[in-house]
């Protein structure tokens, strides 16, 4: 494993958190990382709903399968505006990955919870957070200080690499 890429390999899905709140400075850093992602035509169609209110976090956690939100101190819902770009989903996916890697770099744990085109997942979250119907939802990120530790790893599989042609 190349040490220069340590933070990427250190990023693991964390689902158990301490009760320590995430600082406003770290929340801003996560959002800056998300907004540093490339976007098609530099259109930046993303919007981020930051949730720190414990009651709102619990309302989201009561929505299956978001019970994995657990006792996270923070959730970030990554959304995109299709009226800005047809590539909003790809752009928001890139922003999501940047946030996940940034969380690892800040000593935070995080997990990606998908919701795209899953009405049973999207609609309850839309209702709790008042997200307009015309705005696309890409992901829900559960973030906090980890209460579990996982080893760094690579999942490199040479069988999935094709050179010059399939």
Q: Is the pLDDT of residue 4 over 80?
A: yes
The pLDDT of 65-75, averaged and rounded, is: 77
The residue range of the domain holding 23 is: 7-148
Has residue 117 been placed in a domain? yes
| Confidence band of 14 (pLDDT split at 50, 70, 90) | confident
- Could you tell me the maximum CA-CA distance found in the chain, to the nearest angstrom? 53
The tally of domains found in the chain comes to 1
**29 vs 152, higher pLDDT:** 29
Has residue 161 been placed in a domain? no
Proportion of the chain above pLDDT 70, given as a percent: 96
Task: State the pTM of this model.
Answer: 0.91
Q: What is the CATH number of the domain that holds 135?
A: 3.40.109.10
Q: Give the per-residue pLDDT at 66.
A: 62
| Confidence band of 68 (pLDDT split at 50, 70, 90) | low
Q: Is the pLDDT of residue 21 over 70?
A: yes
Bridge partners, 76 (sequence order): 50, 141
Has residue 163 been placed in a domain? no
Has residue 1 been placed in a domain? no
Has residue 40 been placed in a domain? yes
Q: Which residue, among 80, 90, 81, 76, has the nearest Cα to 40 in the 3D structure?
A: 90
The pLDDT of 4-13, averaged and rounded, is: 86
Has residue 162 been placed in a domain? no
Bridge partners, 49 (sequence order): 77
Q: Give the per-residue pLDDT at 70.
A: 67
Has residue 32 been placed in a domain? yes
| Confidence band of 67 (pLDDT split at 50, 70, 90) | low
Q: Give the per-residue pLDDT at 13.
A: 82
Given strand 74-80, what is the order of strands in its sheet? Answer: 46-51, 74-80, 136-144, 109-114
SS3 124: helix
- Render pLDDT for 26-45 as a digit per residue (tens, 0 to 9): 999 999 999 999 999 999 99
Could you tell me which residues come within 8 angstroms of residue 23 by beta carbon, excluding any fewer than 6 positions away? none
- Render pLDDT for 93-146 as a digit per residue (tens, 0 to 9): 999 999 999 999 999 999 988 887 777 778 888 999 999 999 999 999 999 999
Has residue 116 been placed in a domain? yes
């Amino acid at each position: 494993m190349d040490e220069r890429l340590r933070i990427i390999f250190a990023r693991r899905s964390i689902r158990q958190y301490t009760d320590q709140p995430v600082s406003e400075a770290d929340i801003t850093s996560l959002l800056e990382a998300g907004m540093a992602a490339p976007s098609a035509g530099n259109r930046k169609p993303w919007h981020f709903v930051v949730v720190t209110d414990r009651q709102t976090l619990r309302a989201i956690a009561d929505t299956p399968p978001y019970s994995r939100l657990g006792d996270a101190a923070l959730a970030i819902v990554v959304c995109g505006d299709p009226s800005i770009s047809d590539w909003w989903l790809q752009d928001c996916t890139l922003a999501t990955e940047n946030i996940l890697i940034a969380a690892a770099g800040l000593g935070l744990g995080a997990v990606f919870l998908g919701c795209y085109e899953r009405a049973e997942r999207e609609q309850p979250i839309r209702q709790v957070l008042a997200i307009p119907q015309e705005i696309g939802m890409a992901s829900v990120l559960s973030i906090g200080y980890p209460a579990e530790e996982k080893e760094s790893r690579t999942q490199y599989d040479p069988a999935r690499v094709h050179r010059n042609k399939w």
